[in-house]
């Protein structure tokens, strides 16, 4: 997985959640809160699972890179830089989180700064933009506040925290990559051993017995 892959995945998920929440918003406060939270929880789970897939794939690339770095390997020197950048690395996951959260975080910061400085009408425009960007997370705040017409500590918290929620779910799944890769490699090794043992048993059973001459 590359940083670009993580950014694209999280961006698509956020856009889908925004569309869903715009539709749910018209149903009223309680239905929006319940269904919105369900959608958010589902998106977080999907992001985690996608991260696991990214991590497992990245560990496969890492294994290829390691073999290509071994002078005694037939694959020595056959991996280019583009493939190497997709190898598993914790720093890649962190960069993916920051890249995914950057745009919505900047939007939230811009709204807060313009509101505190009372820059009209720019603050009104940024209020609408920041509300839309953070729309998937507003259902979690509805039990505490149902108005977004002014900047409150709760609103500021949502704007500052929400950009990292889905990226961190993806990152948590991505960090499971080495464990998943080791597990799959162990399963493959055990499968090969069972296949060899079965093959030996079949060959042994299939060997015809030598017949002794009758006396």
Write the DSSP assignment of 73-130 as a string of letters: STTTT---HHHHTTS--HHHHHHHHHHHHHHHHHHHHHHHHHHHTT-TTHHHHHHHHH
Tell me: the pLDDT tens digits for 170-205?
Answer: 999 999 999 998 888 888 777 666 766 666 665 666
Tell me: the pLDDT tens digits for 81-113?
Answer: 677 778 889 999 999 999 999 999 999 999 999
Chain position carrying tokens 């993806």:
170
Average pLDDT in the chain: 85
pLDDT band of residue 215 (cuts 50, 70, 90) is very low
**Is the pLDDT score of 138 beyond 70?**
yes
**CB of 178 closer than 8 Å to CB of 88:** yes
pLDDT band of residue 7 (cuts 50, 70, 90) is very high
Cβ burial of 98 (10 Å; 0-12, 13-18, 19+) is middle
Query: What is the model's pTM?
Result: 0.82
118 torsion bin: left (phi>0), alpha (psi -120 to 50), beta (else): left
Summarize the confidence of residues 28-52 as an average pLDDT: 94
The highest-confidence range among 45-49, 72-76, 151-155, by mean pLDDT, is: 45-49
**CB of 152 closer than 8 Å to CB of 145:** yes
């Amino acid at each position: 997985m590359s940083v670009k892959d993580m950014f694209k995945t999280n961006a698509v998920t956020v856009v889908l959640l925004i569309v869903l929440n715009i539709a749910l918003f018209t149903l009223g406060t309680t239905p929006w809160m319940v269904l919105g939270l369900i959608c958010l929880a589902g998106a977080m789970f999907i992001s985690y699972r996608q991260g696991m897939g990214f991590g497992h794939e990245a560990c496969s690339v890492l294994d290829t890179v390691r073999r290509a770095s071994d002078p005694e390997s037939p694959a020595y020197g056959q991996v280019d830089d583009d493939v190497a950048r997709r190898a598993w690395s914790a720093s890649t996951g962190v960069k993916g989180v920051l890249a995914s959260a950057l745009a919505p975080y900047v939007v939230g910061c811009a709204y807060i700064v313009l509101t505190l400085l009372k820059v009209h009408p720019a603050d009104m425009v940024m209020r609408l933009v920041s509300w839309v960007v953070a729309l998937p997370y507003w259902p979690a705040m509805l039990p505490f506040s149902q108005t977004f017409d002014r900047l409150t500590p709760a609103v500021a918290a949502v704007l500052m925290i929400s950009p990292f929620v889905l990226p961190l779910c993806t990152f948590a799944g991505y960090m499971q990559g080495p464990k998943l890769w080791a597990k799959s490699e162990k399963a493959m090794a055990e499968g090969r051993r069972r296949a060899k043992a079965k093959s030996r048993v079949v060959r042994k059973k299939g060997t015809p017995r030598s017949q002794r001459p009758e006396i």
